[in-house]
Amino acid sequence: MIREDLRNIAIIAHVDHGKTTLVDELLKQGGVYRENQVVEERVMDNNALERERGITILSKNAAAHYKGVKINIVDTPGHADFGGEVERVLKMVNGVILLVDAAEGPMPQTRFVLSKALALGHKIIIVINKIDRPDARLGEVGDEVLELLLELDATDEQLDSPIIYCSGRDGTASESPNEPGKDLSVLFDTIVNYLPAPEGDENGPFQMLISSIDYSEYVGRMAIGRIERGSLKVNQEVAVCDYHDASVSHRGKVAAIYQFDGTGRTPADSAKVGDIVCVSGLDNITIGNTLTAPDTPEPVEFVKIGEPTVEMTFSVNDSPFAGQEGKFVTSRQLRDRLYRELLKDVSLRVRDAETTDSFIVSGRGEMHLSILIETMRREGYEFAVSTPRVLFKEIDGVKCEPMERLLVDVPEESVGSVMEKMGQRRGELVHMAPTGTRMRIEYNIPARGLFGYRSEFLTDTKGEGILNTVFNGYEPYKGEITRRFTGSLIAFETGEAVGYGLFNAQARGTLFIEPGTPVYEGMVVGASPKAGDISVNVCKKKQLTNTRAAGSDDALRLVPAKKLSLEEAIEFLGEDELLEVTPKNFRLRKRILNNSLRLKAQSKLK
């Protein structure tokens, strides 16, 4: 059976190429909203963190209608750290829209997701977006996309993909770069006429692969996936199979079925082959399970999720300020929260560490873990995290490490300093090409070589550089890399930072705190330009005596403190440091807070 009334599509795009904005317009013109309805912008990024960072973390589903055809749109994460999401989502769809910025062209993350889509044999519609940009390069970008398809071994049919020129912001699409469109009907027609309709046996035994899990306080876990075969009704009994084992793990009844409509869900009595649905009422289900008819348990082949490449230790906060700002502070609460995250994030791994109050969390990259830290912080958790560590792997008896493909776009005058830093971090130059007054440079670099580099990169390029990375497999260990060339300024005593103490300390380096900030002994209050740590007394007050020369009592001028974001704080962390995370603050600190004990421990290591 071919479902001509249905199309399931995914949209592939790099961060900030306008994917979510284009989806907004597709939904508006696809009759999702009433004419008088006030519509929030970037409706697909419905998680507060996604809105702030302008990235998609979790895949979402929405549906538009056009000429009697329902179009299920699945928004894929563009970042390789969320690759676990990407691979599963592509199994649900029959075709993809490749969205590329008219000025920037295809980027590393686009390449990552596109390679997965091509491997599955999906048909592709190329959409060149933001054609109204003054620096748009329509012809060149079209050629770059075709070059990328060739590099990724696309079939002849995939190389003949139609190209549509869009302005997502204006909601227009056209087949010609020279003639602007009036609306998105050209894109809608191409989706309906070019991308295949889902096929399947409607009368066969029911089968559905769970590609995503949602969680609701009211009904518990909800399974999202595409019905591969057969049909499903409310209260129907189904069996749950593991993807690596055809045996039935347990059975259950479907309590409710939801179809996607617009950006919401509408309850349905039944669903049939090809539909993407959300099902509730089943316990102990996870991503990768297959729901089947009870008498024919056949699991659907499941995409292998990429292995984690980075790990961090999450531990209970034991600083002098512990428990003052957080709502959830105990090891039990921290453990429960981390293990709960496993229910919906398949790329994550959590295991208990040697001590009872710490846990080792592994993920697909620094960004993957920093999103988890930020989410937990906003929920009211208080904890400490260690510096990220790369996970090595032994392949054929050789120690191997994860590599990254790094693409930098920098002004010509910054090329020298970037190349020098890349050399120190064991980066291998792959490709270099000028684009106007800028240079595009590609490197193959160990993942650990990028720890702490982003903030240095922005300084070296005066904030004008663009840096993108994507996982690039494992290669033999490249040797030692010096992680950080700066030291830390450490608070000498517990108290409150004072302007006079900070004025004396700022001569030693860059400060992270302002007057009035509470500090404790062993807390990192700034960065020293030289290697090695310096203890500073930021609580020191000026003694009010009467023996002072006239005119020497001028006002103290403080340099504004550098406020670290979560990513910058994680990048700054040294091996002997921790980051204290609370709902209100990030505090860098030494593992051993007492100054004399820390110096003794350091002398033993030497």
Q: Residue 135: in which H helix or E strand, if any?
A: none
**Rounded Cα distance, 367 and 570, in Å:** 10
In a domain, 581, yes or no: no
DSSP string, 416-429: HHHHHHHHHTT-EE
Q: For residues 126 and 542, which has the higher predicted lDDT (pLDDT)? A: 126
Residue where a domain stops, chosen among 445, 476, 507: 476
Neighbours of 130 (CB within 10 A): 23
Q: What is the reported pLDDT for 41?
A: 46
The answer to the question of residue 579 being in a domain is: no
pLDDT of 574 strictly over 90: no
Whether residue 508 is predicted with pLDDT greater than 70 in this model: the reply is: yes
Known binder of ligand: residue 16? yes
Residue 233 marked in a binding site: no
Q: What is the pLDDT of residue 303?
A: 64
597 has a pLDDT exceeding 70: yes
Residues 128 and 254 in one domain: no
80-89, 294-303, 393-402, 521-530: the lowest-pLDDT one: 80-89
pLDDT at site 173: 84
Q: Calculate mean pLDDT across residues 230-239.
A: 87
Per-residue pLDDT band at 360 (split at 50, 70, 90): very high
Residues 516 and 542 in one domain: yes
**Banded model confidence at residue 380, pLDDT cuts 50, 70, 90:** very high
Q: Share the mean pLDDT of the chain.
A: 81
Task: Report whether 584 belongs to an annotated binding site.
Answer: no
- Greater pLDDT, 120 or 548: 120
Residue 211 has pLDDT above 70, yes or no: yes
Between vectors from CA 380 to CA 374 and to CA 381, what angle results, nearest 5°? Answer: 70
Q: What is the pTM of this model?
A: 0.73
pLDDT of res. 35: 43
Residue found under tokens 């994550």: 348
Q: Which of 26-40, 381-395, 442-456 has the highest mean pLDDT?
A: 381-395
Band the pLDDT of 588: cuts 50, 70, 90: very high
Tell whether 202 is covered by a domain.
no
* 582 occurs within a structural domain: no
Q: From the CB of residue 559, how many other CB atoms can be counted at a distance below 10 Å? A: 11
CATH of the domain at 108: 3.40.50.300
Q: Which helix (H) or strand (E) holds 598?
A: helix 595-605
- How do strand 487-491 and strand 510-511 relate by DSSP bridges? unpaired
Burial zone of 74 (CB within 10 Å; 0-12 exposed, 13-18 middle, 19+ buried): buried
**Residue 244, pLDDT score:** 62
Counting the structural domains of the chain, the total is 5
Q: Is residue 124 part of an annotated ligand binding site?
A: no
- Range in 173-187, 367-381, 407-421, 487-501 with the lowest mean pLDDT: 173-187
What pLDDT is stored for residue 49 in this prediction? 58
Domain co-membership, 84 together with 175: yes
The domain boundary, picked from 456, 476, 496, lies at 476
> Which pLDDT does position 304 carry in this prediction?
62
Average pLDDT over residues 451-477: 80
Q: Within a domain: residue 481?
A: no
403 and 430 together in one domain: yes
In angstroms, the CA 120 to CA 93 distance is 10
* Cβ atoms within 10 Å, residue 378: 11
Could you tell me the maximum CA-CA distance found in the chain, to the nearest angstrom?
A: 98
Note whether 275 and 197 are within 8 A (CB): no
CB 112 within 8 A of CB 148: no
Element containing residue 414 per DSSP (H, E): none
CATH of the domain at 469: 3.30.70.240
Check pLDDT > 60 for residue 59.
no
User: Is 18 assigned to a binding site?
Assistant: yes
Position 85 scores a pLDDT of 60
Please tell me whether residues 53 and 169 are part of one structural domain: yes
Alpha carbons 30 and 174: distance in angstroms, whole number: 17
Residue 577 CB partners (closer than 8 Å, separation 6+): 387, 488, 524, 588, 589, 590, 591
Q: Are residues 158 and 100 in the same domain?
A: yes
Instruction: Report, as an integer, the average pLDDT of 560-569.
Output: 86
pLDDT of residue 596: 86
With respect to residue 1, please indicate whether it lies within any of the assigned structural domains.
no
**Residue at 302 is within a domain:** no
In this structure, the answer to whether residues 365 and 420 fall within a common structural domain is no
Could you tell me the CATH number of the domain that includes residue 364? Answer: 3.30.70.870
Query: Looking at residue 383, what is its pLDDT?
Result: 93
Give per-residue pLDDT as tens, 115-171: 878 888 888 888 888 888 887 788 888 888 888 888 888 888 888 888 888 887 788
- Is 187 found in the same domain as 237? no
Contact residues for 538 (Cβ-Cβ < 8 A; gap 6+): 491, 492, 497, 498, 501, 502, 505, 513, 519, 525
Give, in order, the Cα–Cα distances in Å from 481 to each of 408, 416, 419, 478, 568.
20, 20, 15, 9, 19
* pLDDT value, residue 545: 64
* Class of residue 150 by CB neighbours under 10 A (exposed 0-12, middle 13-18, buried 19+): exposed
At residue 39, does pLDDT exceed 50? no
Q: How confident is the model at residue 77 (pLDDT cuts 50, 70, 90)?
A: low
Cα atoms in the 13 Å half-sphere on the side-chain side of 377? 22
- Please tell me the predicted confidence (pLDDT) of residue 270: 86
User: Would 200 be classed as within a structural domain?
Assistant: no
Co-location of 544 and 566 in the same domain: yes
Asked whether residue 305 is marked as a ligand-binding residue, the answer is no
Strand residues in 14-75 grouped as ranges (E):
60-66, 69-75
Quickly state the pLDDT bin for 519 (edges 50, 70, 90): very high
End-to-end alpha carbon distance in the chain: 72
* 467 confidence band (pLDDT: 50, 70, 90): confident
Q: Do 130 and 167 touch, CB atoms closer than 8 A?
A: yes
Instruction: Say yes or no: 329 and 452 in one domain.
Output: no
- Answer yes or no: is pLDDT of 346 > 80: no
Q: Tokens standing for 433?
A: 């090409």
Angle between helices 138-151 and 108-119 (to 10 degrees): 50
- Determine whether the annotation assigns residue 55 to a binding site: no
CA angle, corner 52, sides to 47 and 58, nearest 5? 35
pLDDT confidence of residue 58? 44
| pLDDT of 361 | 93
Lowest mean pLDDT among 335-344, 355-364, 414-423: 335-344
pLDDT band at residue 578 using 50, 70 and 90 as cut-offs: very high
CATH number where 502 lies: 2.40.50.250
Tens of pLDDT, residue by residue over 258-289, are: 888 877 788 888 888 888 888 888 877 777 78
17 is in an annotated binding site: yes
Domain finish residue from 142, 159, 194: 194
Same structural domain, 516 and 545: yes
Using CA atoms, how far apart are residues 113 and 93, in angstroms rounded to an integer? 13
Do 74 and 105 lie in one domain? The reply is yes
Domain of 352 in residue numbering reads as 310-390
